[in-house]
């Protein structure tokens, strides 16, 4: 099996690559930044997600595309439009041209950042309520994923990834939103085995005791999270539960130091 990963120099890819290295698998990596720490079974192509010809060539022969490329936080609208929205279109169109039937899109909690934490589990899939231009970019990514799944019979998973980390950091709201590298890798494996065409929006979050999210959509595609933030509590962890009336995006929805369209 060959898995093609965009944004391979970023945090998520760096955390999950060691967990995806198995015999008889090729991890084909791409980014505008060079990935130099290649292991056995990995190969790298330097390219931008906005380059249709480069992406089409990069995806040739792949069994799964994992799209993690693009800006990782808020940026001016023109940057989100060109790299995150247009880049998502390029990736999906390139996957279609290359004959790849399975695509995992790295969406974000910021696609629904204005939902209250207490309401997050009201439905397996929440309608969009983006908190930033970055969040709007993720909503557009999901919409494009839906279009390509329905129009071309592809299996597309949009993962609303929450708080990524090798550990839970200082705790607090992370006790509800943490997703471990192991569970992200399990989500990739579930998508690689998915034999059901269509668009599937799932939460990219671990099985945290204090989770705000329903696991139902993930379970429907074979993704079962195993890890739990509670198992990583230390004496310095802030274990105060977040206020359920808080918005999912927390400070990203109103912090004046993080203006809409700013560079964070």
Per-residue CA distances from 196 to 106, 212, 222, 252 (Å): 19, 27, 11, 35
Residues 18 and 32: their CA atoms lie apart, in Å, by 21
CA torsion 238-243-246-248 (nearest 10°) is 60
**Is-catalytic flag, 133?**
no
Catalytic residue among 58, 59, 133, 134: 134
Residue 247: DSSP 8-state: B
Structure tokens at 257: 């130091």
Residue in the block written with tokens 């390509």: 148
225, 207 contact by CB (below 8 A): yes
Residues 221 and 157: their CA atoms lie apart, in Å, by 9
The per-residue DSSP string of 118-184 comes to GGTTSSSSPPP--SSHHHHHHHHHHHHHHHHHHHH--EEEEEEE-EE-SS-TTBTTHHHHEE-HHHH
Strand partners for 30: 45
103, 157 contact by CB (below 8 A): yes
Q: Which residues are catalytic?
A: 134
């Amino acid at each position: 099996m060959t898995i093609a990963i965009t944004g391979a120099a970023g945090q998520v890819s760096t955390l999950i690559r060691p967990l995806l290295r198995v015999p008889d698998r090729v991890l084909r990596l791409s980014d505008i930044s060079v990935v130099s720490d290649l292991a056995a079974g990995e190969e790298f192509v330097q390219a931008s997600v906005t380059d249709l010809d480069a992406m089409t060539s990069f995806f040739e022969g792949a069994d799964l595309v994992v799209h993690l490329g693009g800006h990782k936080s808020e940026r001016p609208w023109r940057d989100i439009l060109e790299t995150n929205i247009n880049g998502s279109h390029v990736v999906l169109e390139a996957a279609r041209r290359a004959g790849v039937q399975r695509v995992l899109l790295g969406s974000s909690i910021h696609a629904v950042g204005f939902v209250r934490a207490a309401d997050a589990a009201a439905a397996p899939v929440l309608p969009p309520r983006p908190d930033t231009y970055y969040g709007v970019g993720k909503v557009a990514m999901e919409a494009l994923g839906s279009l390509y799944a329905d129009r071309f019979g592809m299996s597309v998973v949009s993962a609303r990834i929450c708080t990524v980390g090798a550990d839970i950091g200082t705790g607090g709201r992370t006790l509800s939103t943490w997703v471990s590298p192991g569970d992200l890798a399990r989500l990739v494996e579930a998508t690689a085995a998915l034999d059901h065409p269509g668009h599937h929006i799932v939460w990219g979050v671990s099985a945290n005791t204090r989770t705000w999210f329903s696991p139902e959509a993930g379970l429907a595609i074979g993704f079962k999270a195993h890890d739990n933030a509670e198992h990583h509590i230390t004496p310095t962890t802030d274990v105060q539960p977040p206020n359920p009336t808080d918005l999912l995006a927390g400070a990203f929805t109103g912090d004046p130091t993080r203006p809409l369209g700013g560079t964070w």
